Amino acid sequence: MTRRFVALAALALCLPSLAFAQKRKAPVKNVDHGEIYVNGAYQGSSGDVSSTVSFTANLETGSFTSKFRVMPGAAFDAGGRVRVWKRLGVGAAVTSFSANGTTDITGQVPHPFFFRTPRSITGEASIERKETAFHLRAVVSSPPGRRLQFSGFAGPVFFSVSQTLVDKANYSDAYPFDTATFTSATTRRVSKSKTGFGAGADVAYYFMKNLGVGFSASFASGSFDLRAVDDSPVAIKAGGGLAGLGLRIRF
Amino acid sequence: MRNVVVVALVFATGAWVHSQTPAPTDRVMRVTAAARALAPGQSDAGALADLRAWDQRVTDMQRAGDLRRLAGISDDMVAGGVDERFEQRHLGVRVFGGSLTRQLNRFGQAESVFGTIYPDVTIDVTPALAPDAAASRLAAAGNGVVLRTSPPELMIIPNDAGGYRLTYSARVFSAADGWVRRVFIDADTGATADSYIDSWTQTAAIGTGSGVIGDTKKIMTGQQGSSFIAADLLRPPDSNTYFGLPRTGILTFDLKGNLNRTLQVLDFLAPAVTDIAADSDNVWTDAAIVDAHTYAGYTYDFYYKRFGRKGLDNANLQMWLFTNPVKATDWPALFGQYGGTFFLNAFYSSGGNVTFGVGLPSTVTMSGKTWYPFSGALDVVAHELTHGVTDYTSDLIYRNESGALNESFSDMMGTAVEFDFQPVGNGIGQADWLEGEDIARPGGIRSLSNPNAYGHPDHYSLRRTTSADNGGVHTNSSIVNHMFYLAIAGGTNRVSGQTVVGVGFENRQQIERAIYRAFTVLMPASATFSAARAATIQAARDLYGTNSNAERALTAAWNAVGVS
């Protein structure tokens, strides 16, 4: 997909010379059969991923919680639309986002000698979130003016999320066992797909007949559960606010 | 005894002046010397001179072979310090009760010396009896068998009428009544010279009993095939193994109420793996076993965490806990012979071994109390195991004042362990100032806060001067117990009317640590109450400084109970 957009961008670079050549001859009426775009984008946080896992140790139930905040970060956004009737069109886009970071782990480990005397552990583990979203859109566009063109869009979003979850908080302890020390975390990558909804707007500035730059702002969201190692649900939110800036090619 | 007591302290008041250098004609020399004055009115300069004289004397005696250095241990509680322990020898033979401790600071200078020596021993040490013959004579004198852990040893004992006697001595277990005795026989004639019960035990007042409180707790076990045994594998193990038993720190045996097997095992014919308490599913239902095993673990934990001590001998000696020595229901037939051992008692009998009595059936009351298995009380278990700590430290002689101190140390530490593991309160399973309240219901068997309520002395003037109970070791201990209570909680002594400002319950560790240091490091085997006073005050200074709250509370508490 990315390679396709790069080819289109290269094509766009050739267009200014053509437009320049035409400019001196006669005014040309702008047409708008559709548009393709590619954005460098910034995606906001979709919230925290918090999972609590219970386990059995020393005849009691212990637990640990890992909390990972999906931090905002760079994203890739590309897509296009085709006008189908008057100012209405249909579009499709794909966005890709990933966030790496650490998750804070806090846990309670049962004492081997005594009931109801848990020991606390704290630690960190590396976590990765990857999101790929495929958007189908209904698009309403403004008439193609000399320079500016506005669009609004909305439609379903098909999310595919890959998230690292902490399966086990490993710890060490020794006599007299009054403390335990976090040593590492055993993690696992979990993937799941889910449909959500997205909407947004785009404004393009065409400094040439078919080539311009644009800014888009959109929001997409999908909520679903992953399953922790003990089969407890881990609520996930995908998507979030997305702001992008990039090339526009109109045809 | 024709005791001429020389205390190496100079009292500036002049009420009584003691020689700084013991005269050679003194029959017994009791030493309490420290770098600073230990008693009101004593000058620091005089005390220091006294200490230097004793320090030199210890060195001279060691060079001459009259003192044998048993240990020189780095002091865990005073940085850079070394604690030395000596026993007196005459021509290589131990003089019973002659022992000294010397505490060195980080510069190798003596900080204090405590102990007792006999300066005029001159007897010949060649016995007419051979050791093998002595062993059989000792066994006969004790009506039992000589313990393997205590083979016959030549020993010089002071005669009450003066002079000294060369003897053989050993600990002897008697199957006739379940007691271990320290027996002395004349090394020439084989005649019994002395004997006393040496099962370091907590004797219950016959009457109330109590048992296991029905709580659920974790028990440390070992899996063996498809079964589980009461072998604590999580606490630090002994580096040795014995008789093919598991190498663990704590082993609990189930004698299954079989008196014959009990007598065999306590005869030290060696307990077998099959004697170890076992359970098929690790869900243990024998409360006596559960409590003996878990409470021994708690006691180990207390000593480790509070004092840095690794078990009874500070080297993780394996603890053997014997439960169910008889069946409680057999009491009509057996109580007359074994009531004070296997029913209403628990006792420590050297080598890290403790036997817990079974109590009485719940339908039977005695002395107004219901008696439960003795392992069901945390303070009782800790009490008995503390006898083991004493066994490997001061080795307080189990009679008269040193015996009462031996008992009191166990009571004090038993109470301290209870406060450390149970919630404070007045009910069953709660920590209080009573001893044995969970197994002798209602009320337990002793009180540290109010000994008089149990008919026990709470002031030195009321001490029992009896030959019974090894000189009242279980009653006179209450004087020291009450001192411990007053030093922590404060209050007014009933007899003296003196009021003590204690360190406060939240600071009780200060007193516990001072007591522990005094009883395990500073005190000699033959310590008196007066020596214990000096040693505990010195210990408080060592740990918390001169004129610290702990020192002032201990001093006031000893004053209040009449020990000077």
Domains of chain A in start order, with CATH, are 2-17+32-250 (2.40.160.20)
A240 token code pair: 């979030």
Cα separation, B156 vs B187, whole angstroms: 10
Per-residue pLDDT at B17: 26
Helices (H), B100-252: 131-141
Cα separation, B289 vs B266, whole angstroms: 17
Percent of chain A with pLDDT over 70: 88
Cα separation, B435 vs B431, whole angstroms: 10
Quote the DSSP letter at residue B493.
Answer: -
Cα separation, B476 vs B408, whole angstroms: 8
Q: Is the pLDDT of residue B509 over 90?
A: yes
Per-residue pLDDT at B124: 92
Cβ–Cβ gap A176/B304 under 8 Å: yes
DSSP states of B277-312 as a string? -EESSS----HHHHHHHHHHHHHHHHHHHHH---ST
Cβ–Cβ gap B305/A176 under 8 Å: yes
Size of the A and B interface in Cβ pairs below 8 Å = 25
Residue in chain A closest to B422 (alpha carbons) equals: A114
> pLDDT tens digit string along B436-456?
999 999 999 999 999 999 999
Q: Which of A113, A115, A175, A177 to mutate to test the interface with B (most CBs of B within 10 A)?
A: A113
As a residue count, chain A comes to 251
Percent of chain B with pLDDT over 90: 61
Planar angle of CA A60, A64, A65, nearest 5 degrees? 150
Per-residue pLDDT at B21: 34
Cβ–Cβ gap A113/B218 under 8 Å: yes
Planar angle of CA B305, B106, B69, nearest 5 degrees? 85
ipTM, two decimals: 0.74
Cβ–Cβ gap B234/A58 under 8 Å: no
Residue in chain A closest to B236 (alpha carbons) equals: A175
Q: Is the pLDDT of residue B525 over 70?
A: yes
Q: Give the one of A59, A176, A178 whose C-beta lies nearest to B218's C-beta.
A: A59
Residues B192-201: what's their mean pLDDT? 74
Q: Is the pLDDT of residue A9 over 50?
A: no
| Cβ–Cβ contact A173 with B under 8 A | no
Per-residue pLDDT at B521: 95
Per-residue pLDDT at B79: 79
Per-residue pLDDT at B32: 78
Q: Which of B71-85, B306-320, B405-419, B436-450 has the lowest mean pLDDT?
A: B71-85
Per-residue pLDDT at B311: 96
User: Per CATH, the architecture of B131-198 is what?
Assistant: Roll (3.10)
> pLDDT tens digit string along B375-389?
999 999 999 999 999
Q: Which of B168-182, B457-471, B549-563 has the lowest mean pLDDT?
A: B168-182
Cα separation, A195 vs A218, whole angstroms: 16
- CATH number at B448-560: 1.10.390.10
Cα separation, B466 vs A82, whole angstroms: 113
Percent of chain B with pLDDT over 70: 89
> pLDDT tens digit string along A70-97?
889 999 999 999 999 989 999 999 999 9
Residue scoring higher pLDDT (B372 or B143): B372
| Residue B384 a catalytic site member | yes
Per-residue pLDDT at B147: 80
HSE, side-chain direction, 13 A CA sphere, residue B26: 20
Quickly state the pLDDT bin for A16 (edges 50, 70, 90): very low
B278 token code pair: 């076992």
Mark which residues 23-62 of A lie under 8 Å from B by CB.
58-59
Q: Give the one of A112, A175, A178 whose C-beta lies nearest to B218's C-beta.
A: A112
Quickly state the pLDDT bin for B72 (edges 50, 70, 90): low
> pLDDT tens digit string along B215-261?
999 998 887 766 788 888 888 877 776 766 777 889 999 999 999 88
Per-residue pLDDT at B552: 98
Q: Is the pLDDT of residue A24 over 60?
A: no
* Selection from B213, B210, B257 nearest residue B372 by Cα: B210
- CATH number at B203-391: 3.10.170.10
- Return residue ranges of chain B for CATH 3.10.450.40: 131-198
| Cβ–Cβ contact A85 with B under 8 A | no
Cα separation, B406 vs B196, whole angstroms: 15
Cβ–Cβ gap B297/A114 under 8 Å: no
Quickly state the pLDDT bin for B488 (edges 50, 70, 90): very high
Residue in chain B closest to A110 (alpha carbons) equals: B218
As a residue count, chain B comes to 564
- Identify the active-site residue in B84, B87, B384, B551: B384
Cβ–Cβ gap A115/B304 under 8 Å: no
Chain A: closest CA distance from residue B218 (Å): 6
> pLDDT tens digit string along B108-132?
888 888 888 888 888 999 999 999 9
Q: Is the pLDDT of residue B5 over 60?
A: no
- Return residue ranges of chain B for CATH 1.10.390.10: 448-560
| Residue B407 a catalytic site member | no
Per-residue pLDDT at A27: 54
* Selection from A156, A164, A159 nearest residue A131 by Cα: A159
Per-residue pLDDT at B278: 87
Q: Which of A148-152, B172-176, B268-272, B478-482 has the lowest mean pLDDT?
A: B268-272
- Return residue ranges of chain B for CATH 3.10.170.10: 203-391
Cβ–Cβ gap B235/A175 under 8 Å: yes
* Selection from B159, B187, B156, B153 nearest residue B171 by Cα: B153
| Cβ–Cβ contact A112 with B under 8 A | yes
Average predicted confidence (pLDDT) for chain B = 87
Q: Is the pLDDT of residue B484 over 90?
A: yes
Identity of the highest mean pLDDT range in B109-123, B191-205, B270-284, B482-496 = B482-496
Residue scoring higher pLDDT (B282 or B297): B297
